[in-house]
Amino acid sequence: MKQSLALVDFYASQLIECDEAIELKMKQLQQQIEPPQKPLPKRRQSHGGNAINFDVRTELYNVLGVDLTEIHGIGPTLALKLIAECGTDMSRWPTSKHFTSWLCLAPANKISGGKVLSSRTRKSSNRVSALLRLAVPVLGKTDSALGAFYRRLAARSGKSVAVTATARKIATIFYNTLRYGMKYIDPGAGYYNEKYKARALEGLRRRADAFGFTLQEKPVAVMA
């Protein structure tokens, strides 16, 4: 027991040293760039058992000029890991489609004779892709537009497909936020569900019209 406790204390001290080295490096990066014009909005943060021992969100904002934690599914620690893996220069990928293709999150269509034979994504050991996939199941429990998208697709096509598709959406928002300074505002699950319902109804109307029918709303029963 004594030896086990000593090991725990040793590893904890090593983690603290790593956190201090990361914080120092971020301070050095901040000295090389202009500080953001707008202050970082205050937000209550939840820290897990492996939370880094400094304010990662603020330090990242001072370096990037954007708040990646506004994207549902991306917390401060995950944002730091993503930046560590892909850097801050997103111009290496001309568009978000190039970025998601690099992550192997975009469909790899196999076409023969004008017919799509397969649209499965390629297998990959990309760490960024793995991190985004791990964030999706937790995101699916939130009352957000991305959470609603994941739940709907999981019910229709299975969790594996839903995880990949949702991770691709997060990657696209991450790319646009980091490269163009886009501010992500989540419209909420209710907005997404209403938008999906409107698209579904429009599709039904077109199909009914093609067969010479008119789609009508079901009359509401009146209680006597």
* Ordered DSSP codes for 47-74: --TT--SS-HHHHHHHHHSS-GGGSTT-
Q: How far apart, in whole angstroms, are the C-alpha atoms of residue 40 and residue 48? A: 22
Asked whether residue 186 falls in the same domain as residue 88, the answer is yes
Please classify residue 84 by burial: count the beta carbons closer than 10 Å to its beta carbon, then call 0-12 exposed, 13-18 middle and 19+ buried: exposed
Asked whether residue 14 falls in the same domain as residue 73, the answer is no
**Across 102-112, average pLDDT:** 73
Q: What pLDDT score was predicted for residue 110?
A: 59
List the domain range (segments joined by +) for residue 9.
1-32
User: Residue 104 in contact with residue 129, Cβ under 8 Å?
Assistant: yes
Asked whether residue 28 falls in the same domain as residue 87, the answer is no
Residue 116 predicted with pLDDT over 80: no
Residue 4 predicted with pLDDT over 60: yes
**Across 79-97, average pLDDT:** 91
Residue 175 predicted with pLDDT over 80: yes
Asked whether residue 104 falls in the same domain as residue 4, the answer is no
The rounded Cα 147 to chain-centroid distance in angstroms is 10
Segment of 92-106, 116-130, 207-221 carrying the highest mean pLDDT: 92-106
Residue 177 predicted with pLDDT over 90: yes
Query: In this structure, is residue 208 part of a structural domain?
Result: no
Query: In this structure, is residue 67 part of a structural domain?
Result: yes
Asked whether residue 7 falls in the same domain as residue 102, the answer is no
Query: In this structure, is residue 44 part of a structural domain?
Result: no
Query: In this structure, is residue 76 part of a structural domain?
Result: yes
Residue 212 predicted with pLDDT over 80: yes
Query: In this structure, is residue 87 part of a structural domain?
Result: yes
**Across 77-89, average pLDDT:** 90
Q: How far apart, in whole angstroms, are the C-alpha atoms of residue 77 and residue 96? A: 23
**Across 151-167, average pLDDT:** 92
Asked whether residue 82 falls in the same domain as residue 178, the answer is yes
Q: What is the pTM of this model?
A: 0.77
Q: How far apart, in whole angstroms, are the C-alpha atoms of residue 153 and residue 143? A: 15
Asked whether residue 27 falls in the same domain as residue 72, the answer is no
Residue 45 predicted with pLDDT over 60: no
Q: What pLDDT score was predicted for residue 47?
A: 43
Q: What pLDDT score was predicted for residue 40?
A: 80
Question: 209 is written with which tokens?
Answer: 């019209």
**Backbone angle region of 181, left / alpha / beta, with phi > 0 → left and psi within -120 to 50 → alpha:** left
**pLDDT category of residue 108 using cuts at 50, 70 and 90:** low
Query: In this structure, is residue 209 part of a structural domain?
Result: no
Of the candidate ranges 35-39, 138-142, 197-201, the one whose mean pLDDT is the lowest: 35-39
**pLDDT category of residue 221 using cuts at 50, 70 and 90:** low
Query: In this structure, is residue 90 part of a structural domain?
Result: yes
**Across 173-193, average pLDDT:** 88
User: What are 186-207's pLDDT values in tens digits?
Assistant: 888 888 888 888 888 899 889 9
Asked whether residue 78 falls in the same domain as residue 27, the answer is no
- Count up the domains in the chain and report the number: 2
User: Residue 173 in contact with residue 110, Cβ under 8 Å?
Assistant: no
Query: In this structure, is residue 48 part of a structural domain?
Result: no
Asked whether residue 71 falls in the same domain as residue 108, the answer is yes
**pLDDT category of residue 133 using cuts at 50, 70 and 90:** very high
Q: How far apart, in whole angstroms, are the C-alpha atoms of residue 55 and residue 8? A: 24
- Looking at the chain, the whole-number percentage of residues with pLDDT higher than 90 is 31
DSSP structure class, residue 206: H
Asked whether residue 70 falls in the same domain as residue 132, the answer is yes
Q: How far apart, in whole angstroms, are the C-alpha atoms of residue 62 and residue 79? A: 13
Spatial CB neighbours of 148, under 8 Å, sequence gap ≥ 6: 189, 192, 193, 196
Reported residue count of the chain is: 224
